[in-house]
Amino acid sequence: MIQQQTLLTRQVVVILLLLALISSLISAASLANTNIPFPKDFRFGAATAAYQIEGAYKEDGRGLSIWDTWSHIPGKIYNNQTGDIADDHYHKVKEDIALMKSLGVKNYRMSISWPRILPTGLLKHGINQKGIDYYNMEINELVRNGINVAVTLYHWDLPQYLQDTYGGWLNSKETVQAFRDFSDICFAHFGDRVKDWITFNEPFITSVLGHGCNDWAPGLGCGSSPAGNSSNMPYMAAHSQLLAHAHAVKVYRDKYQQDQQGRIGITLNSNFYYPLTNTKEDYEACERALLFGFGWFADPVFFGDYPQVMKDFVEGNRLPLFTEQEKRLLKGSVDFIGLNHYTSNYIGNRKSPLPPVNQRTFNDDQRTEGSSYKNGVPIGPKAESDWLFVYPPGIRSMLNWIQKRYNPQMIYVTENGVDAPGESSMPISQALNDTFRVNYLHDYLTEVSNAVMQDGVNVKAYFVWSMMDNFEWTNGYSCRFGVVFVDYNSPNLTRYVKNSAKWYSELVKPYN
């Protein structure tokens, strides 16, 4: 009897071990493979932005930004959430860097909060030494842990004082000079360790959403004002950002680049566009949408001026002109071009009549009509965000389009990622099993690999968005893009590693 019980126990143990093995194999099989070929010197990393993760919005001398102000206006952000605390990265920075190191993240794209360095945005009002000390500490900690640093100088957090006093990006002279001074300070204090500088993140968003009557800081463009309206403000804001970029690049190249041996560029966002119908008009509309979006900023920094199609279609003298000196300053003002890409859309030629010239918006000027659906069928699976549909071939098409038009020395994919459907409402244990995100990253990275290895596109780096869940602008904390889960219900904002982080960690191992 005892022998029978012993035998039965052994059988149960064997069965349990087999079940555990099968479960492990199923779990492993459920994650996409990591055998995606890239050149040996390809750089993989993760990205964040200061306002989205730092918090500490009033600490240690930091001034207010336009996003501090905007997020405190009732009804502007989901559930009236703010970035006041965000992920509390300001206080948990060493913990977060240790987590990056444990996951094998060797390249980190961060941004520097302008009002943390210059509380009013202006050099004449003094530098906040505590801000300098904080970023020195963070950058030193990253370097000490073997992590290369890429810094974005402007990730949307314009000092509120500049907005109130000068009109922000609607005023080229003062705001451009202020950004030039801010950039100079950053190059001087951090450039010995920072080898990649990004002047602006997605100036398209700042221009169109912030100055075109969409609910985005600083919330301008609605109705008429002495400065303008949604018909001309986006073009004014874009013009100022381009000039600020050019002046910052000149400062870097003239004063710092030779000694510091770094690179400087700009990050632009774009979907890729496919024709709604197989007509010449819709194919032309797709190209026009790319030029009105990506080309609006890329043409000036590569060629020195706006795309001709914008000059032709933006009527009524609403598109500002560059002087010949400004064209020379802009032309060639990038060592690399950054691409933020998440999704693709269908585009058709506009059929509805246009409003009068002085009432036209940026979208009117393009003469296009866009949709994520064709004949009622979505272009791909929908993510949590209403605008994000999964279509991996789009990133390969986008990279090839950039290579063909601009032939850049280097392209960095500075953001790519997805918010998994329903993740914010799941129990943590379920949210960590983010197969949707793993598959997205696998499929998009496969297309990036194809662009590099098969098409010869000069992509040199890829940064997943985002290192951790964070404040997603008007969506607050309602959607999660991180490969690391942040528990906003815990007092310590506890971090948990998702399966996507584990998968990404395996992917990057051969390149570390």
Residue 503, SS3 per DSSP: helix
293 neighbors 204 (Cβ within 8 angstroms): yes
202 is catalytic: yes
Q: Give the burial class of 325: count Cβ atoms within 10 A of its Cβ; 0-12 exposed, 13-18 middle, 19 or more buried.
A: exposed
- CA–CA dist 287, 270 (Å, integer): 12
269 neighbors 299 (Cβ within 8 angstroms): no
The counts of H helices and E strands in the chain are 20, 15
> Which residue is catalytic, options 54, 138, 326, 415?
415
- Which residue has tokens 């943390």? 116
Q: Measure Cα distances from 186 to 67, 116, 330, 422, 450 in Å.
A: 21, 12, 21, 39, 36
Angle at the Cα of 206 from the Cα atoms of 203 and 212, rounded to 5 degrees: 125
- CA–CA dist 105, 96 (Å, integer): 11
| Contact partners, residue 317, CB within 8 Å, separation at least 6 | none
Instruction: Count CA atoms closer than 13 A to 28's CA, side-chain side.
Output: 8
Tokens for 325, please give them.
Answer: 């000196």
246 neighbors 200 (Cβ within 8 angstroms): no
* Other residues' Cβ atoms within 10 Å of the Cβ of residue 173: 10
> Which residue is catalytic, options 202, 326, 384, 472?
202
* Other residues' Cβ atoms within 10 Å of the Cβ of residue 184: 18
**DSSP label of 62:** P
Q: What is the largest CA-CA distance in the chain?
A: 98
DSSP 187-232: HHHHTTT--EEEEEE-HHHHHHTTTTTSS-TT---SS--SS--TTT
Which residues are known to be catalytic? 202, 415
